[in-house]
Amino acid sequence: MQVLVFLIPISLFLGGVGLVAFFWTLKSSQYDDPEGDAHRILSDEYDDSPAP
Amino acid sequence: MSVQACPACSAGPMAEAVAQAGKGDQKVMLSLPEIHCAGCISGVERSLMAMPGVRNARVNLTLKRATVDVDTGIQPADLATALTARGYTAHELDAGTLAATQTDNRGRELLMRLGVAGFAMMNVMLLSVAVWAGAADATRDMFHWISATIAIPTIAFSGQPFFRNALSALKAARLNMDVPISLAILLAAGMSIYETAMHGEHAYFDAALSLTFFLLAGRYLDHRTRSVARSAAEELAALEVPRALKITGDTETMTPIAELAVGDLVRVLPGGRVPVDGIITTGNSEIDRSLLTGESLPVFAGPDTMLSAGEVNLTGALTVRVTAAGEDSTLHRLTDLVAIAETTRNRYTSLADKAARIYAPLVHLLAFGAFLGWLIGTGDMRLSINIAVAVLIITCPCALGLAVPAVTTAASGRLFRQGMLIKNATALERLAEVDTVVFDKTGTLTQGRPQLVDPGSYAPDDLALAQALARGSSHPLAAALSEVVPDNLPYTSPTQVRQLSDSLLQHEIPGHGVQGDLNGQTLRLGRADWVGADPVVGTATYLDTGTHTVAFRFTDSLREGAAEAVAGLKAQGKTVILLSGDHPSAVADIAARTGIDAFEAQVLPDEKVAYINRLRDSGHKVLMVGDGLNDTAALAAAHASISPASALEATRVVSDIVLLGNTLTPLADAVLTAQSATRRIKENFAIAALYNSIAIPIALIGLATPLAAALAMSASSVSVSLNALRLR
């Protein structure tokens, strides 16, 4: 059972990383144009910033 | 466009607008209704970037919109024209009207709460599974405490929308769905903390969190459906850029309509919509009043003719003195009507409300009964509270909360793909109940675009002369004449008509017609009184060849899919009626062509309302389909209403559903979709009731465990969502 001392914090930390990543995508408007983003990957032009 | 446009998406541009403020001097929005692929995106962006004065351009494919940063002084209309010339149809959007849709903070906030609830639910579920698998004593307590530290802040944050609604309902001494929801979440959390502190066996943290998560998902779906509809409706409104050409001294300037004052002079160009109420000071023209009155025949307008906002100027440029602008104009006075319509609509109780009305008191009584029963039976306070809370959690309105939004999302998505925009939350339910359909004629069943009746019946020479003269005018009747190419008449080949036309030296006399000269003989094509011909019944234009006069008769061309829609509705057993303000012969003609048996002509706007009220009083549920301002009151009075996108904004506002495309075909299918959506909602209620009828007895006899609650909750929510997805 000693292993729980490590496992629980690790699992919470990993979940927290996912949550922070979700916040980041939300804040940087990455759900702005889901269809456009799906098509943009086919474009030859290289653009490194998703906005504006 | 797809319904996948999530509100969080539309939240984006605003934030960027702030971030990008320094880059361009001006932000321009363009609507791009036809783009659909990666090639279109880069094509539009490249074309825009190549134009002078453009700093930055970004296409949003989901919203089919482009945001362009330009230097000041660049006219948005020019960008749209240039882009259209390159093959990408573009329309200018009024940024002021759109600004309201862009800040969808509520959607983003809901998504944030949903994300937090999902994270917490998964982690707590992980710990709960360990407890259910047999963790005991100190380990179980530790797991419960960790669950509590995750669950309590999450509930405090994610549950706020429910708590807020419940509180406002309680303040107004009402019960809504949010009251039992909030109670279940709060009691589950409170009881679990107490149990954890007392080293108890059962804690319902996972149930409290999954309840929050599932209900937030329903709430978010609901919000998304509505905000997609709202943003599309506002985009339609934004297409009508509210500007007018104001004349000051010798200069004409584009001025927002809001800034016009009574007494100002405004220039209305041919083909333009009259922006204000006013009196013509100079110029002659013909005016299309069909949107206001339903008449398909254009009327003559000269100095001192009164014009109302919304009419279309056809032939000559007019100078108009403003008599009422903005709030006072005919268009705006209709907002009163709209307000009345909204209240009648609001009186309609949706299925969800009906369910909530039965459900909320029932659940509270059950839980309270269980508490009393066990308290009297055992005298154990802690056990009684535990059982009462278990009843509240198990009967959780999870499935009920998802039942309606999941179905409406699926149904509006399906209708949206067919080109119909659902604007009102209860529109689908009302549409499903409809048994009588009333159509307006001009602009709804017809396109408002005339067609020459039986071109073969005219003498070839007359037709050729008329066509040659018609080339000198942009009047709709002239345009319709030019389109006619009778294949059995070699004489009137387009080339010969063009040569004839060039030799005529024709010139347009605005408001009257076109005049030309052939070998010293004056030819005229235009209104009956001007040409000197005897007027015939219906829409017609008259040719004076010098020796005799000919009347060219026109009929309105049917809107695409009009006959199919009528046939489809009749096949469903609906009564179809045509009400029009137009002349009886024109109405009878259209009725015959679409297959409508019952029709009435020369109906005034208030008679339309009275007609619909009579139908309603005799127990019918009426669907009104109309586009004109003369239909607005009737649309508002009907049980459900549909208008085409070509209708004026005031008319679209009162309708529940807007037809985005040019065709009426999806109409019959929409009624069927609405009916199956209502059926799915009822099925979902039945599924929820079934789960409850199994789970409640178990909870009442005290056998409910957190595991059973989690299973019942997830199973009912998933089956309800899957049932809704069958609609797609």
| One-letter amino acid of B228 | V
Rounded to two decimals, the ipTM of the complex is: 0.83
Radius of gyration, alpha carbons of chain B: 32
Q: Which of A22, A31, A43 sits opposite B9 (nearest CB)?
A: A31
pLDDT along chain B (728 residues), means of 10: 37 38 64 80 87 85 82 80 84 68 72 92 89 85 91 94 90 81 88 89 88 89 77 69 76 76 83 82 82 72 82 82 71 54 60 80 88 90 87 77 84 83 82 90 80 77 79 76 61 62 71 78 81 77 82 82 90 90 83 88 82 89 84 82 79 80 85 91 88 86 83 85 84
Do the Cβ atoms of A12 and B123 come within 8 Å? yes
DSSP one-letter string for B240-294: S--EEEEEETTEEEEEEGGG--TT-EEEE-TTPBP-SEEEEEE--EEEE-HHHH-
In this prediction, residue B647 carries a pLDDT of 76
B130: tokens are 């360990």
| Annotation says B440 is catalytic | yes
In this prediction, residue B335 carries a pLDDT of 52
Q: Angle between the B706-725 and B666-700 helix axes, to the nearest 10 degrees?
A: 170
Closest chain B residue to A51 measured between Cα atoms?
B16
Catalytic pick from B104, B141, B222, B440? B440
C-beta of residue B330 within 8 angstroms of C-beta of residue B310? yes
| One-letter amino acid of B343 | T
Closest CA of chain B from A15, distance in Å: 7
A3: tokens are 């292993």
DSSP one-letter string for B34-69: T--SHHHHHHHHHHHHHSTTEEEEEEETTTTEEEEE
C-alpha B463/C-alpha B552 separation (Å) is 9
Of B91, B88, B78, B103, the residue nearest B13 (C-alpha): B103
Counting beta carbons within 10 angstroms of the beta carbon of residue B634, is it exposed (0 to 12), middle (13 to 18) or buried (19 or more)?
A: buried
C-beta of residue B44 within 8 angstroms of C-beta of residue B83? yes
In this prediction, residue B149 carries a pLDDT of 92
Q: Angle between the B205-239 and B706-725 helix axes, to the nearest 10 degrees?
A: 20
Residue A47 pLDDT > 70, yes or no?
no
Span B375-404, pLDDT tens digits: 999 888 888 888 888 888 887 667 777 888
In this prediction, residue B7 carries a pLDDT of 37
* Chain B residues whose beta carbon lies within 8 Å of the beta carbon of residue A25: none
Closest CA of chain B from A42, distance in Å: 6
Do the Cβ atoms of A42 and B38 come within 8 Å? yes
Residue A26 contacts B, CB cutoff 8 Å: yes
B207 Cβ neighbours under 8 A, 6+ residues apart: B188, B393, B396, B706, B709, B710, B713
Q: Which of B38, B60, B62 sits opposite A43 (nearest CB)?
A: B38
In this prediction, residue B612 carries a pLDDT of 87
Span B298-352, pLDDT tens digits: 788 888 888 887 788 887 788 888 887 666 666 555 555 555 555 555 566 778 7
CA B700 to chain centre: 47
In this prediction, residue B695 carries a pLDDT of 85
In this prediction, residue B646 carries a pLDDT of 76
Confidence of residue A21 (pLDDT cuts 50, 70, 90): very high
In this prediction, residue B159 carries a pLDDT of 92
